[in-house]
Structure 1
């Protein structure tokens, strides 16, 4: 259990850092962070609420959608809501926002790869899915619809709403969409902790 908890929190921390890297690259965000940035730009930022806090609040809002789906959160689910946005804020404070394009491109690629590593680590700890993944699995369980269609519909919806609110869609969004599946496919087996017995 100690290893699981360490891996969980390390994975969540790296995930938060990867968000900050992709945001600072300024070349387009992953789908959920397009939504986050849209909410931040339109509502939260003017109200003095930080980007990282918006990440956490959206995670909490998505977690509430679990109630009608009868999903049960784990330790990792709750930690996800608390840790990722908090670490993203630290990363945004630490990473400069005025980098040259080659550095921003490198930051984007590194952030996407780190996101894949982090996802493999926190999911592989086996202590509960993140709110967004649990929403997907809950809808699949309740409706019987195929995972690929549910996941695609969710991602398209959050990108569209985020973009309409002013979130950043660009090359990074496309690169993330193409790369994250294969990256998680590689890293999840490496970090999955098997239950003994």
Structure 2
């Protein structure tokens, strides 16, 4: 598949917004499947239920808190970080307010599993699109990087720890951890990597070597 992606900053902002909207749709599908959700969504849903607010609103609150924590640790947010918090939370509230797939929780396990798998795939495509815009990491990715820089952990270990924080807190508050959470942990990473290859995007911006002085 050959795709030409924008290189100017305005075009990359549009790409970023498209990716965030697609990511939101993927998260929405995993919530509708009612089989368990991604680690941080477990916390968002638990918080929403406890406070009587929208899941998207809880996502914005937790995302904003993480941005503040990561900034205090020395990693300041970019435009992509701020838009990640606002766009995904807003889109989730709008999607969950619609009746589409609202009765999926009463469907058969096979149907719900199908919706969950599609949701993870859509999430992965959205992640590749918005990360490929190279305009700043999401707040949870920022937490992973902060942990990696502050503790003697590799990126993989930092990712596990950051995801574990959201999952443990969310589960302790009654969030919906389940088989979908496990599937998300196992499948999301490889699916995002596949999406990068399929869409012809790079997770990191290309850097040109600095020419040596004569």
Deviations 1:135-170 (A, max 9, x none): 111221233421111111121221111111111011
Gaps of 5+ in 1: none
Which residue does 1:9 correspond to in 2? Answer: 17
Between 54-63 and 146-155, report the one with greater CA deviation: 146-155
Mapped to 1, the partners of 2:163 and 2:102 lie a distance apart of 27
Q: TM-score scaled to structure 2, two decimals?
A: 0.84
Report which of the two has the higher share of helix.
1
Which residue does 1:179 correspond to in 2? Answer: 187
Q: Rg bigger for which structure?
A: 2
Deviations 1:7-54 (A, max 9, x none): 100011111111111111100010000011111122x21xxx211111
Between Structure 1 and Structure 2, how many residues are aligned? 193
Which residue does 1:105 correspond to in 2? Answer: 113
Q: TM-score scaled to structure 1, two decimals?
A: 0.91
Between 152-161 and 175-184, report the one with greater CA deviation: 152-161
> Structure 1 residue 80: deviation in Å?
0.5
2:129 to 95, 116, 121: 121
- Find runs of 4+ consecutive structure 1 residues off by over 4 angstroms: 193-197
Change (3 A) 1:196 1:6: farther
Mapped to 2, the partners of 1:103 and 1:91 lie a distance apart of 20
Gaps of 5+ in 2: 1-8, 209-214
